[in-house]
Chains A and B, each alone.
Chain A
């Protein structure tokens, strides 16, 4: 904090952006943004999806060119026409989706693009020496000879950080770095960032998680709709205030819900197993029950079988084992498809609304019938009943507050939150006995999260069964009545939501069972 308070002449900001504007066609992604990031600090940038955070960082990293404004690095005006220039200016970027060559070793990935000469061996030898040094300094331990496909996501991320440091980055930008990490891995990452800061590196952390901002940043800038609405010292603010700045109005961070009153079992899953096309076993004997009037949350780091579980129940993937809905067995052999599942009363808000839940090139009204287009309400013999679907869509758009309420708008033109509201409206209003919900608020703005959570709780209160899969532990904790944790295709344990906490679940998510912990 000393640096922050010092007089401007002491040290120029590591990064200073002055009046940056960038438009994509008519969409003003960044408008007149000015920001100063002091050297040796961790600076958080927070904002809803589409607020312009990633655009701003892409400008800084040379992927986009600002329409106007200037960039100063260490007080010197700097032009950044491409990422090479950014690297020369000492900027390193760790993307949300890693950019690593899967079948190269860690060492090869680090050297890739930064070789000293035509011969690889001297570069690799030098990289190995530097790597050892960096690992000691920053707790950035990796196995230099492992291939990327062999190591976990946490370590892959460390490789990305090492790549930037190897290129002499003094400024490190991390875009949503914890999305794929377990809580323990995230803590490790924060320790690394702390070490980097201690060595005088400057870190920009882009995130939408308020908790992370509060935990490790020194200063935080809030973006909303392409504008920088505030920059404050983290110590002087609180999550509630940040959330309000992000959304522009008061928001409810906790889900208001009465205790559940579970009824009869609706979904009974026993010994469910899935082997994928590569002969890898994705589900290794999963069993659980969801009762009427309760929300069962499935927690876990992405990729531990939750997606397969939803796909099997939604009729999109084969499995063995037994699944019963209200006592009647479901066919898991692949004979029954997603349509059959809907007919027996299973609604499904899929994990990926862009590639599954919606046809992005369809209008809102066409999407409102997706999966239900054969029902009498929406069809006249072989023809689709456009007026009926249209009327239904206008009604649902109103009740689920989809903005803009224009049924002729293409699905891809809606914001993430409004896209999700379309899917949720369609699936809830089809009147299911069981609702499968995957990542209901991924890429959804805070205002819409609040609304979607309320709808899910309301469905529970009508006595429906809900199976919620989410990688956001906060969401699982606040929405679920019971929580099952998945790791490596198995359920590691079940907890009552009100009697557990993030720490306990985090251990289960990492595969550590109760006895060992």
Chain B
């Protein structure tokens, strides 16, 4: 029954997990004859030490925020959307279509259109798995994974055929026209002599991602739909009893989840490459699973976890550039973080929980079952002005 305080749940446990992952990474780095302290310094400087470093870290973080939110939202309905990769891939197709085949007088309009198009395409890609789950009981994990492969194949076909400009060897569309170029962080934050974020891909999409965090938070904890999604996720029996239709919840949640994954495509197409490239998603859909796990499916947690993974991506890239630590080692470090924060979460959580339970048991005399120490709702959805119980 008893849990630990909220701060331990959201901060202490992930922190311990991270330290464990770092410790094992250090041992592995030692084992191949490198200095782990040095490696850490390179990662921190490379990912956080300059505006250049931040320009990459936040670019990756933007991707992970979207895919993390997609997984997190589906999690609330106890749906495991593992198809973020495919949905983001198809979302990119939506962005490319509007960018290439419609004229755009100003980037703001192009950005709005890209939001609509990427979300719609991502949602469409999630629609069939959603329908099959709701009506036929086909497991969403299986179908979304299969749809990832269909998405890759579809894009390969389009980028080697219909959408490839003639005379090029690259599997990419033609560059997007001038009117669709959305501002990068360099455009936004450089002033006069000081050029910030030089040569980095971070762009205005980051703010779209932040906005998405806020909107998803509102959806989950403030709206009737969010109430129904969470009720369904916690207890299908109770949802049925309350007249909350499972078909509606599964389909709507998956459409929204697919839309969030699709939005990621704005970052790597409109924002960075300014054209659609094959494999632009680079597995961000799967990182989103780790991000959502580590962020405990809360938009703020997703944001923080996405920045952490952005750091690992960028820091890892720097590491393989400036040391003899091979690029594969970076993948190992990322895998360790995912393993400890995601898969082995309970390994840390349960001892910490026991620690708090013991401390509390010693601190307080007998507490009846529903006494003052019983579990209260984490007030994660409460705005500052929440009415208190003491009305």
Contact = CB atoms under 8 A, between A and B. Distances in A.
Which 8 pairs from chain A and chain B are nearest by CB? Answer: A339-B243, A25-B2, A25-B357, A338-B243, A371-B242, A413-B374, A355-B237, A356-B241
Interface in A401-451: 403-404, 406-410, 412-415, 418
Given A50-B369, A373-B242, A362 B234 contact: yes
Contact of B377 (A25, A31, A408, A414): A408
Given A25-B361, A355-B237, A383-B224, 12 more contacts: A26-B364, A315-B243, A316-B240, A339-B242, A357-B241, A358-B238, A362-B377, A370-B231, A383-B222, A386-B386, A408-B377, A413-B376
19 contacts: A25-B357, A225-B368, A315-B243, A348-B241, A357-B241, A358-B238, A359-B234, A361-B234, A362-B230, A362-B231, A373-B224, A373-B228, A384-B223, A386-B387, A406-B376, A408-B379, A409-B377, A410-B375, A413-B376
A83 interface: no
B370 A413 contact: yes
A373 B369 CA distance: 29
Interface of B: 1-2, 222-225, 227-228, 230-231, 234-235, 237-245, 357-358, 360-361, 364, 366-377, 379, 386-387, 389, 391
A342 B375 contact: no
Contact of B223 (A50, A358, A382): A382
Contacts of A360: 234-235
Contact of B238 (A27, A337, A339, A357): A357
A384 B225 CA distance: 9
Nearest to B238: A359
Contacts of B379: 408
B238 A409 contact: no
Contact of B360 (A26, A355, A363, A410): A26
B231 to A, nearest CB: 5
Contacts of A418: 370
Contacts of A356: 235, 237-238, 240-241
Interface in A353-397: 355-363, 366, 369-371, 373-374, 379, 382-384, 386-387, 390-391, 394
B237 A352 contact: yes
Contacts of B2: 24-27
B389 A408 contact: yes
A415 B234 contact: no
Nearest to A391: B391
A314 interface: yes
B376 A314 contact: no
Nearest to A380: B224
B367 A27 contact: yes
A363 B373 contact: no
B230 to A, nearest CB: 8
A203 to B, nearest CB: 29
Given A26-B367, A316-B240, A373-B242, A359 B235 contact: yes
Contact of A23 (B243, B361, B376): B361
A137 interface: no
Nearest to A24: B1
A89 B45 CA distance: 66
A383 B222 CA distance: 6
A427 B389 CA distance: 22
Contacts of A407: 389
Given A25-B357, A409-B370, A414-B370, A390 B387 contact: yes
Q: Which of B2, B243, B379 has the most CB of A within 10 A?
A: B243
Q: Which of A314, A337, A359, A383 has the most CB of B within 10 A?
A: A359
Q: How large is the interface on A (under 10, 10 to 19, 20 to 34, 35 or more residues)?
A: 35 or more
A383 B223 contact: yes
Interface in A17-35: 23-28, 31
A226 interface: yes
B245 to A, nearest CB: 6
Contacts of A409: 370, 374-377
A14 to B, nearest CB: 30
Contacts of B240: 316, 337-338, 356
Contacts of A348: 241
Contacts of B376: 363, 406, 408-410, 413
Interface string A326-357: 00000000000111111000001010100111
B235 A384 contact: no
Contacts of B225: 382
Contact of B370 (A316, A350, A386, A403): A403
B375 A394 contact: no
Contacts of B391: 390-391, 394
B322 to A, nearest CB: 47
Contacts of B227: 366, 369, 373, 384
A113 to B, nearest CB: 29
Contacts of B241: 314, 316, 338, 348, 350, 356-357, 370-371
Contacts of B244: 339
Contacts of A339: 242-244
A164 B223 CA distance: 54
B221 to A, nearest CB: 9
Q: Which of B237, B357, B369 has the most CB of A within 10 A?
A: B369
A63 B2 CA distance: 20
Contacts of A358: 235, 238
B366 A31 contact: yes
A156 B92 CA distance: 61
Nearest to B391: A394
Contacts of A410: 374-377
